[in-house]
Structure formats: structure tokens, C-alpha cells
Amino acid sequence: MKYRTKKTAALFMSAILGLGILTGCAGGSDSGKTQENAAEGKNNAQQEAASPEHYDVNFLFCWNGGSVMLPDDQDHNAILDKIEEKTGVRLHMEAIATNETEKLNTLFSSGTVPDLVSAAYWWSGAGEALAIRKGIEESLVYDLTDLLPDYPNVANLLEEGLAEGYKEFDLNLPEFNGRSYLIPTETPSSNPADLETLTYGVYCRKDILEALEIDPASITSEDALYDLIVKISEGGFKDAVGNPVIPAGAWHSGWRYSDLVAGFDTGYHLSNYREDENGNVIHYAFSEEMKNKILWMRRLVSEGLFDVECFTQNSTTAQEKFAVGRIGVYGGGAQATELFNTLYKTNPEMEYTLVGPLKNQAGDICTTVSQGGASGSPVLFLAGGMEEKKARAILGMLDYINSDEGRLLVKYGIEGETWNMVDGYPTYTDEVQAAMKEDASALANLGLGFYEKVVGAKTYNSKYPVPENQKTDVDKYLDAIKAKLPLYITNKISVGLLERSYEGMNDYYDRASTIDLGQIEQRAYFAASDEEAMEIWDEALQQLTDAGIMEMCESIQKSMEAYENPDALSY
């Protein structure tokens, strides 16, 4: 059963609905039918009188390549039909295959802004955000302030699940004069259960650890990790097809070999800035921890212990290596979906186990730092100048989708047709689950998933935790890892946000845009000696200095001293 076209999706929905239609038409006399028809006509008239006014709304999904998320039939599908039935709004979708910032600039320069737009707003100085801010300045974005009190679910998205720094430094800019123009989406609720716990860490093949009789929990320092990698090199281990194991590596483009050196971190950090021994603000590139990371990685590379190809390999090459367990130790995420479909099917004994976790220089485990909410997000905005009735219709639609009923609709579909509540948890029907296994686009073509993009302050995890008896092997594997990597949650505000108060910020970033610290760092790994590696890195530090990083740090220092609540700030 495939749903690659609107025809097949429609056939599937018709099949689900068919039983109910046939049951409703069975039996009865002609006079009975006449009475039923009359009653039905009366009910329809009452429903039409009570139904919301209809609006066609053009919705631009301003994300390059975003069309792959759209259903085949972007104007008609079961979810879209239900949204229109409930709110009167019919969304007409458009995605882009071009640069997002360029598209936004084109919209605002031409004055042809669609009714509703979803775009990136990771921070107020990013390209997309600068374009949106210009649109607001020119009154091309709708001022929502006076309407929001009538749409509490939408108003909640501007408050809940957002980091304090994001609200203060990005969403509530002084130039907005206390007015609201942007609606954050794809954000968590304030419940810690809804914060995303990532699985970034160091992983080693389980069979290798067992052969070496090493307890994975004992690998908590960089020295212990290095010793493990050396033992793998000396152990003569093979991958699933008989090739020698590469002691250490990472996925595509070196993602995330940085987890291998996370033990050199001096603590939990929110920014690219640090405090030196004299209490002054410095960029992390000038810190001792950065030098230690470079020298440790250079040691792996110079001793042939690291897969240097990973710095430039694509995802296909990386997956080919991990599908046969060619890498002994790697830094990155658990990659459970990929590995359960490949390596763990053929060689379950080679399952990658989280080691450690490593501990940083403060003695705390290396884990993901969360600011208790989103520190950047996609946002929705409405076209400025539209009539208030249409703006209210759009806000009403968004308010409905962000209600309990609406959230279930856009994620799971229509109860009784595509899902049922099982043990208090929304569960796809057997038909839908079978379709998902056959065709990964099945849910999208039923209209599921995409409209969830307008949901914020998400409560799915806290409100509907997956029952143990419904968890897959992947779920259980990830649960075990996440239990060892609890989020470090802080309500602090990153000192990096104080960059915004520096008048020369944009000029600095223009000058620094040609400095690729990552590439320079990797070049240092291949140096003939530690001294040469540091000389290469010193060149990078000089480039940053010439670009004006010292002036930026001085500005941040002054802003920290003048900040009304300095205890709220964190590096």
C-alpha cells in the first residue's frame, strides 16, 4: 500500500470511511428516507449557519527543500479538510528551493508577502531574521498585539518553552516598541519532559569492550579514552566483513568528533566566550581548553588512530562504514535508526555502547546544556495590511491547531480513522502502521506531520508518554542512553547575547566571515609536531584579532558590568 499520489491517499481514506458510510445507508423505507433527508437538510442548514466564514490562505513554507515535507496533494487531504471544517481556513501551500534569506528579501522588496509565512528566526542577527526585521520596520508584517488576547493558545507560544535570553534579545527587540509580530513554533513546553534530550557522547562497539574486559562506565577521562583507543588499535579487531577496525572516527564531515574531546571543557557553557584567569572575557579560541583539544586530536591523527577521511566524507560513506562496524570508537549521536536497520540486524553483538560519560574539568558529566526552552526557532508571521477579519481567521486556525484536539489532529490524524487511544496513548491503526512500513511518505500524504510545523510549546512527550508495551527496540535503546545523559538545564542567559549591544558587531562578523576556525583546527591536527600545531592555531588567533575580536570581548565585558541582573548571565 503506497501513498505517493493524492489518488492513492484518497483511496486509503475512502476505504477507512467506507464501512461507516455503508452502515448509515442500510435499510429503511422510502418515507423514512424522506424524513431522514429532511432532518439532514435542517441539520446541514444549522451547521452552515454556525460554521466559520471561509478564507483561502496562502501559506509560504520558507525553507529550502521544504517541499519534501508536504503531502502530494497540498490543497486537499484529510487533515487540511478537517482544519477548514473547524476554522473556515483553507491553507494553500507553497515551499521554496532557493536560499531562504534571498526569498524573504524578495518578498519584502516587492511587497508581495503571502498571508502566512513560516521562516527561520534562530537569532535576530541571522540573515532571515534581518530580512524579517526590515519587513516589520516597513509595516509589511502584521502587528498581532491587540488581537493576541483573544487567541490564548497562540499567545502562549510567545511565552512558554522559550529561553529567557531568546525572548529578551530576539523576540522583544527595542525596535518593536513592545509590539508582537512573530509566533515561535516547534518549541517545547515548559515541562522538562518535553525538552529534547540528545544522545551526543562517545560510543564503542560492545563486543570490543567485552573482549578487552573494559567496563564502559570506567571511561570518564580523556586519558582513559585514549588508552581504550590504543588498545583497540593493538587488538586486531575486524568489522563485519573482515576488514581491520579503524580505532576512532566520526560520521559525515567529522560530525561530531568534538564529543571525543569534550572532557577538556571547563564546565557547562552557553556561549563562545570564556573567562580568563584575570576575570576578563575572552573568545574560546584563546582558551587553554581549546589548545588541549587540538593537541589531543593531533596525537590521535599522528599515531594513525583516527579516521581522517571522516573530515570530508559524505553521509553515504559514513553509513557504509558504520553499517559494518568499521569504527571502534566514535563521537556523535546514537544514530539508532540507521544502525538498527543495518549493523544491529546482521551483527547485534557489535552494537555501539555509550561509554563514560566523559567528565569535564569541573567533574560534571559531558551532556547537552539546555536553557529550559528554545533559544531560537522557526516563526510564523502574517502579511501586514490584511483586513482584520482575515488576520483573526488565521489566528483562530492557529489557535485551534495548538489546542489539545488540534495537536492530536495534525500529529495523528482523525481518531477512529488513522489512530485510536490505546492505554492512554494515541496509536496509529494497523493499516496506517503497515503503510508506514511500506512507504515512508505515507504519513505526509495523509496530511500528517507537516501541519504540526505550526505547533509550539509542544506537550506530546509529557501529555502522552509512550507506554512501555508500545516502545520499539529503538525506543528502549535510546531510553537507556538518555538516562545516562540527563540534560543540564539552566535558566541563565548566555553572555554571547550581549554581542548585540556592540555597535561594531556586524562589521566584525563581516571581517571574520572568511575565517574558518574548523578548517584551521583540522589543519593543525596534521602538523608534524605540537609546536607546529600551535603555530598554525596562533595564525588563526591573529586573524581573529585583526578582525576585531578583542574589541568585541571588551564590549561584552562592559555590557556584563552594566547588566541589571549580572547573576542571570553565564558563559
- Round to whole Å and give the CA distance between 465 and 105: 41
Domains 6-11+52-190+374-453 and 201-370 share a fold: yes
Whole-number average pLDDT of the chain: 89
The residue written with cell numbers 492530536 in the block is 408
Q: Which CATH class is domain 201-370?
A: alpha beta
Give pLDDT tens digits for 507-561.
Answer: 999 999 899 999 999 999 999 999 999 999 999 999 999 999 999 999 999 999 9
Which sequence spans correspond to the domains of the chain? 6-11+52-190+374-453, 201-370, 493-570
Give pLDDT tens digits for 454-494.
Answer: 999 999 999 999 899 888 899 999 999 999 999 999 989 99
Q: What is the DSSP string of 225-258?
A: HHHHHHHHHHTT-B-TTSPBPEEEE-SGGGTTGG
For the residues 147-170, what does the mean pLDDT come to?
Answer: 96
Does the predicted model carry a pTM greater than 0.85? no
Residues 6+ apart with CB under 8 A from 358: 201, 202, 219, 220, 221, 222, 225, 259, 262, 263, 365, 366
CATH 3.40.190.10 corresponds to the domain 6-11+52-190+374-453: yes
Sort residue 178 into left (φ over 0), alpha (ψ -120 to 50) or beta: left
Give pLDDT tens digits for 277-319.
Answer: 999 999 999 999 999 999 999 999 999 999 999 999 988 999 9
pLDDT band at 1 (very low <50, low <70, confident <90, very high): very low
Give the residue with greater pLDDT, 465 vs 450: 465
Give pLDDT tens digits for 376-431.
Answer: 999 999 999 999 999 999 999 999 999 999 999 999 999 999 999 998 999 999 99
